[in-house]
Amino acid sequence: MLPLQHQWKTLSVSFLDTILTVSMNRPKANAMSPELLNELKEIFNQVSKENKIKGVLLRSNLNSTFCAGADLSTVYNLSMAGQKSTIDKFVFDTLSRGMTAPLYCSKPVACSLDGHTIAGGLMLALSCDYIAIGTRKPFRIGITGPIVGIPYPLKAVRLVQHQLNPSLAYRLLVDANLYSSSNFPIECERSETPDDLSQKWLKMVGQRPLQGFQITKQKWWSDIIKLDNLDNEQEKKEYFDAVTSDACLQAMKKALTKEK
């Protein structure tokens, strides 16, 4: 069954000329709720099993934002409740798999960035096989978790290291700097119409035998995927202690107040 026959709540999908377009559609900023994360994981799983689909274009239906990352209200509420097992499930399973869903997909995945790409949203983009950045209007790209004291799990750290210049990766993870899309230092193509660039790349790759691409993609991401099987109980404890600390809770509460 093609994914467009499924009733998605946070995604809009369309299928044309062997390419599936997946548009995130969770106003106002495509914040990564459990529902959005689970749907991202599910749709890329379905794509891997569907022979009619040769590639995926991942984009946003929102005018100014690609994705704002993990829903801070979700993290804050879970941290306030102080249930370690629930936090572990959200951060190290739901969030970890959802925001990296494209790298598990056996088909080529192109990402079209034409709006703010923050934190987990950047992780999602970096998990794709191709990125096109829009030039029609500048937008922000970066990582903001450190501002409120939220640490990044090892898998997220390794992903940023894997895809970006190491010094840039460290500055993003530590300083929480936001870059303008106009000068974000990443190797990618740029255009006023990034969807068109992504479609062009997908069509080019789709004309080739798929198996060679799949083997290369699997090898490229193997070091990241291996982390899923790592015994990370110490990391989970460190994360729990950080997000349930008084300082982190106060910082998250302050940030949420500013958003209203």
Give the pLDDT confidence of 122-160 residue by residue, as tens digits: 999 999 999 999 999 999 999 999 999 999 999 999 999
Q: Is the pLDDT assigned to residue 3 strictly greater than 90?
A: no
- pTM of the full structure: 0.96
Q: In what order do the strands lie in the sheet with 65-67?
A: 65-67, 116-118, 140-142, 178-180
User: Cβ distance 184 to 126 under 8 Å?
Assistant: no
Closest of 132, 143, 142, 137 to residue 115, by C-alpha = 137
> What's the chain's Rg over C-alpha atoms?
18
Residue 69 has a pLDDT of: 95
Instruction: Report, as an integer, the average pLDDT of 108-126.
Output: 97
Q: Is the pLDDT assigned to residue 2 strictly greater than 90?
A: no
Q: In what order do the strands lie in the sheet with 11-16?
A: 11-16, 19-24, 55-60, 109-113, 130-134, 189-191
Give the SS3 label for residue 142: strand
Residue 258 has a pLDDT of: 81
Instruction: Report, as an integer, the average pLDDT of 228-246.
Output: 94
- Residue 213, Cβ density class (10 Å: 0-12 exposed, 13-18 middle, ≥19 buried): middle
Q: Is the pLDDT assigned to residue 260 strictly greater than 80?
A: no
CA atoms within 13 A on the CB side of 200: 10
Residues 6+ apart with CB under 8 A from 216: none
Give the pLDDT confidence of 152-201 residue by residue, as tens digits: 999 999 999 999 999 999 999 999 889 999 999 999 999 999 999 999 99
Q: Is the pLDDT assigned to residue 1 strictly greater than 70?
A: no
The mean of the pLDDT values for the chain is 95
Q: Is the pLDDT assigned to residue 254 strictly greater than 90?
A: yes
